[in-house]
Amino acid sequence: MSKDKTFSLIVLVFVLLSVVGYVVAVENDEEKKHFIVFLKNNKPVLDEINAAATHLNVLMSVKESHVDAKESMVYSYTKSFNAFAAKLTKEEAQTLSKRDEVHSVIPNQYRKIQTTRSWDFIGFPPNVRRHPQQESNIIVGLFDTGITPTAESFKDDGFGPPPKKWKGGPCHHYANFSGCNNKLIGARYFKLDGTHDPLDILSPLDMDGAMYKVCWTTTGCTDMDILAAFDAAIHDGVDIISISISGGSNYVEDGISIGAFHAMKKGIITVTSAGNSGPSAATVANHAPWILTVAASGIDRKFISRVELGNGKNISGIGINTFNPGQKLYPLVDGRDVARNSDSKDRAGYCAEGSLDPKLVKGSLVLCRLMSWGSDSVVKSLGADGVIVQSDLFLDNAEIFMAPATMVSGSVGASIETYIKSTRTPKAVIYRTREVKTRAPFVASFSSRGPNPGSNRILKPDIAAPGVDILAAYTPLKSLTGLKGDTQFSKFTLMSGTSMACPHAAGAAAYVKSFHPHWSTAAVRSALITTARPINRRMNVEGEFAYGAGNINPASAVNPGLIYDHGEMSYIQFLCKEGYSGSSIAVLAGSNPINCSSLIPGLGYDSVNYPTIQLSLRSTQRPTVAVFKRRVTNVYRAVSVYNATVTAPHGVELTVAPATLSFTRLLQKRTFKVVVKASPMPPAKMVSGSLVWKDGRHVVRSPIVVYSPSQ
């Protein structure tokens, strides 16, 4: 995760999440899988011992013995919700689901990990206004793959003891883990089968379930481990949870969604990554409205590795090349021309392992198409002096290579192919990487895009934060590339991904919380969204589907002027409007079954007081009209007046009433409505505008998105 000296103002509790590999067991010729069993009385229980015993008794109803039930039990969730995880056959799961005390049985799902200058770029310099006394009481829980506590980023110089509210257990020394300090105050992991993954670096195991690593190299992360981590983190007293793991689309069955809802009820804001499946549409992950969803943006620098061809032509490639050339020019070959044999020619174009002739590549630079990472390892093992990787993907972030290397676009690669064919002795050289300035911010190509696949009423992602080429602490136990033969080791490295953006936003949320410790999770999220800096749509044609409200601006977020606040009932009303059943909402909320028809209808079109507005067109033939109702709270000056400014895109009419909001006291609330009338648009088209409230000091901005769903 990205770390920075500025960020050291936050007391970090690294809630290290990791999941175990898929466990296959066969009993009576029937495969067992992991399931999560939610009981109808889904409220957290005070007596953990009796709760665990109850869970075991329920499980015994489908097992042959007490021993069999105990061996099948994986987790008892007792702190924040009443449920358990167990290994069951399909028949056992079906039988359990029919019991009176069981609400639902959900299959365990596997999730993916979403894998300096950045703070200055977002206007958060070291001398930013601070609230030191309250900062020392803020705890950030990080759900991730692991941690190296000896890293420079985790030194606790100047930190006092952990906050008194901290309920986490002691932090012990284990293999490759030297223990905690006053900055890293807790580190644990959960692993559902207890076995060691040989590809992972060990960190401490908490037998009592205090804290949480839940993602493993070979298999990623599972819902049951994620829920166990949420259960413990909520109990331990964290204020912010940062989790860079992809979630599912069903709000009442996804582990991250369920855990984040329970965290929200305790005033804990969950900050998540949007995912790394971009630029494809409707790929954004973690899109529940009670979660802050963060896209990855680039900052105003990039790393160039220049290539000079033998004909004098210079080409700018992308990548981290730390090697100085040992000679003026090297022989240059196309991987397809140096195949081991005719059968491997296609694979040789990608420099796949075993496809190249060592005699023909030795001492040369090799042009390789990108199929998978590692071509630099392949060519170096054969004695080549470097590689030029050709790809139209991943050109906005710099990869680290273990040999002289750079990445070029498909069109540039084609020009290199043409040069190779034009001469009998093609040559080239790759120069050492240098940093250059570039236009920013922009959203990375890998960052997942909207529209929201879980709800057409909620805009996701919410905001963007730096996630491209971020200087991050790194483990000395693994080479920089992780490839065979790499001898490069460092305490720091450059990383890219929404998993880099997420902790920036979590740090910003913690900064806001240090000024407003009693604000709700919705209030903190609102402050970050309405003060975000808009991103120029020319940089990303997907607009708000790429970056939400814009790039985070934490220095302004501590004083947003107005906030869009709401609580648990607002989310329940939203879920009812989305069509979820009252009983399924009860599982999420940890409550008795809910009768949606008896609830007071929520606010307007979307039933939730969200700081952004999104409308999905209902017809490609007729105009769509929707009324959005909103309520803002005055959090700056008692007597203040805000006037509305509306920017409407072509084909959309926007009306705000009233257009002026007058306040006479702090925390006073005012309501207004936004009427959106949109003309028909072709499928998959999106346009956007905005609503801005101004009082002469504050700019409270809400993006308004209108789109026509794909057919």
Report pLDDT digits (tens) over 461-494. Answer: 999 999 988 877 777 777 777 778 877 777 777 7
pLDDT at 89: 92
Q: Which residue has the higher pLDDT, 8 or 368?
A: 368
Burial 158-182 (b: 16+ CB within 10 A, else e): ebeebeeebebbebeeeebbeebbe
Query: Omega before 441 cis (within 30°)?
Result: yes
Q: Is 173 a catalytic residue?
A: yes
Residue 198: pLDDT over 70: no
Nearest CA to 457 out of 317, 251, 261 is that of 251
pLDDT at 112: 72
Mean pLDDT (whole number) for 625-638: 96
pLDDT at 396: 87
pLDDT at 585: 92
Mean pLDDT (whole number) for 569-576: 94
pLDDT-based confidence at 211, cuts 50/70/90?
A: very low
Task: Tell me what percent of the residues of the chain surpass a pLDDT of 90.
Answer: 52
Catalytic residue among 273, 355, 479, 499: 499
User: Is 103 in contact with 586 (CB distance < 8 Å)?
Assistant: yes
CA distance 439 to 472: 22
Catalytic residue among 144, 231, 385, 695: 144
Q: Which residue has the higher pLDDT, 618 or 471?
A: 618
CA distance 315 to 311: 12
CA dihedral 234, 240, 246, 247 (to 10 degrees): 50
| Sign of the four-CA dihedral 149, 150, 154, 156 | positive
User: Is 604 in contact with 628 (CB distance < 8 Å)?
Assistant: yes
**Which positions ≥6 away from 49 have C-beta within 8 Å?**
none
Count other C-beta atoms under 10 Å from residue 372's C-beta.
9
pLDDT-based confidence at 351, cuts 50/70/90?
A: very high
Lowest mean pLDDT: which of 569-573, 603-607, 681-685? 603-607
Domains of the chain: 33-107 (3.30.70.80), 116-124+254-295+443-471+485-560 (3.40.50.200), 139-238 (no CATH), 301-437 (3.50.30.30), 562-566+609-707 (2.60.40.2310)
> C-alpha angle 510/511/514, rounded to 5°?
85
Residue 203: pLDDT over 50: no
Q: Which residue has the higher pLDDT, 242 or 292?
A: 292
> C-alpha angle 11/547/266, rounded to 5°?
40
Mean pLDDT (whole number) for 317-333: 91
pLDDT at 331: 96
pLDDT-based confidence at 209, cuts 50/70/90?
A: very low
| Sign of the four-CA dihedral 51, 52, 54, 55 | positive
User: Is 657 in contact with 672 (CB distance < 8 Å)?
Assistant: yes
Residue 196: pLDDT over 60: no
Lowest mean pLDDT: which of 38-52, 228-242, 391-405, 646-660? 38-52
CA distance 690 to 656: 11
Catalytic residue among 66, 172, 173, 196: 173
> C-alpha angle 168/52/251, rounded to 5°?
75
What letter would DSSP give residue 686?
E
pLDDT-based confidence at 93, cuts 50/70/90?
A: very high
CA distance 239 to 517: 9
The chain-wide mean pLDDT, for the chain, equals 84
pLDDT at 151: 64
Lowest mean pLDDT: which of 142-156, 484-498, 662-676? 142-156
Mean pLDDT (whole number) for 629-640: 96
